Structure 1
Amino acid sequence: MVVACVVLATGAVAAPADAATRTRFMTSGCGMPASPVDVWKRSANYKTVIALDGLRATSDMSGWRHETNIDKLADRGINVVQPVGGLASFYTDWDRKPGNKQDFRYRWTCRLDQIVRQLDARGMAAGRWGKYAIMGISMGGNSALTYAANHRRRISHAFSMSGYLNLSAPSMRESIKLALIDAGNEAGLGPYDADDMWGPPWSRRWVENDPFNLVPKMRGMTVRIAAATGAPGRYDVNAVTAAKGAPLETASAAQTKAFETHAGPNGLRLTTDYQPVGTHSWGYWRDAVWRAQREGWFRDR
Structure 2
Amino acid sequence: MPVPNGDATNAAERTHAAPVPFMRRAGRALIAATAATALAAGLAPSVANAQETGAISPESVANDAVLGVVTPESLSQLLYFGNFPGSSGSSMMGIANSLGFSPNMFAGEPPPSPQPNPKITETKIVGDPVVEGRYERYLIDSADMKRGITVEVHRAANPGAPFLYLLDGVGSELPSGFTQWGAGEQFANENVNVVIPTGGQGSMWADWNEQDPVLGISKWESFISRDLPAVLEPRISTNRNRAIGGISMGAGAAMTMATRHPDLYKGVFGVSGCYSTDALGQILTRYTVESRGATLTNMWGEPGNDQWVAHDAMINAEKLRGKAIYMSSGTGVAEPGDWDAYNNDVANFVAGMALEQATGQCTHAADRRFKELGIQADIDHLPTGMHNWSYYSRQIPVAWDSIKHSVGL
Q: TM range, normalised to the smaller chain?
A: 0.7 to 0.9
Deviations 1:41-69 (A, max 9, x none): 124274421110111223x3212112x11
**Distance in structure 2 (CA, Å) of the matches to 1:27 and 1:96:** 22
Query: Where does residue 297 of structure 2 map in the other structure?
Result: 195
Contact 2:130 2:138 in 1 (8 A): no
Instruction: Identify the match of residue 310 of structure 2 among 208, 212, 232.
Output: 208
CA distance in 2, matches of 1:174, 1:46: 39
Taking the TM superposition and a 5 Å limit, the aligned residue runs for 1:220-239 are: 220-233=322-335, 236=338, 237-238=341-342, 239=344
**Alignment-derived partner of residue 381 in structure 2:** 274
Show the 5 A alignment for 1:1-301.
Answer: 9-10=128-129, 21-28=134-141, 29-44=143-158, 46-58=161-173, 60-66=174-180, 68-72=181-185, 73-98=187-212, 100-102=213-215, 104-112=216-224, 113-124=226-237, 126=239, 130-168=240-278, 170-181=279-290, 183-184=291-292, 191-233=293-335, 236=338, 237-238=341-342, 239-240=344-345, 241-293=348-400, 295-300=401-406
Cα displacement string for residues 75-111 of structure 1 (whole angstroms, at most 9, x for unaligned residues): 232321111110110111001011x344x32000111
Structure 2 stretches lacking a partner, 5+ long: 1-126
The letter of the residue matching 1:65 is: T
Q: Deviations over 1:129-184 (max 9, x none)?
A: x321111111101100111112222211110111111221x343244224322x22
Equivalent pair of 1:235/1:284 in contact (CA under 8 Å): no
> 2:50 aligns to what?
none
C-alpha distance in 2 between matches for 1:62 and 1:234:
27
Alignment correspondent of 1:188: none
Query: Please, what is the CA RMSD of the aligned residues?
Result: 2.2
Q: CA deviation at 1:115?
A: 1.0
Structure ranking higher in strand proportion: 1
Identity of aligned residues (%): 23
For residues 386 and 172 of structure 2, the distance between their equivalents in structure 1, rounded to whole angstroms, comes to 18
Counterpart residue identity of residue 140, structure 1: G
* Change in 2 beyond 3 A, CA 1:289/1:192: same
State how far apart, in whole Å, the 2-side matches of 1:246 and 1:174 are.
16
Q: State how far apart, in whole Å, the 1-side matches of 2:397 and 2:229 are.
A: 23
Whole-angstrom distance in 1 between the partners of 2:128 and 2:137: 5
Select the structure with the greater relative contact order (CA < 8 A; seq sep ≥ 6).
2
Conserved in 1, the CA contact under 8 Å of 2:205 and 2:221?
Answer: yes
CA distance in 1, matches of 2:238, 2:316: 24
Q: Which runs of 5+ in 1 are unaligned?
A: 1-7, 14-19, 185-190
Structure 1 distance, partners of 2:254, 2:274, is 11
Taking structure 1 as reference, are residues 101 and 264 closer, same or farther at Cα in structure 2, changes over 3 Å only?
closer
Note closer, same or farther for the CA distance 1:296–1:145 as it changes in structure 2 (3 Å cut): closer
Normalising by structure 2, we get a TM-score of: 0.62
Structure 1 runs (4+) deviating above 4 angstroms are 8-13
Q: Which has the higher helix share?
A: 2
Shift of 1:226: 0.8
Bigger shift: 47-56 or 232-241? 232-241
- Between the aligned partners of 2:227 and 2:237, the Cα distance in structure 1 is 14
When Rg is computed on C-alpha atoms for both structures, the one with the higher figure is 2
**Equivalents in 2 of 1:82, 1:286: separation in Å?**
15
Number of residues of Structure 1 aligned to a counterpart in Structure 2: 272
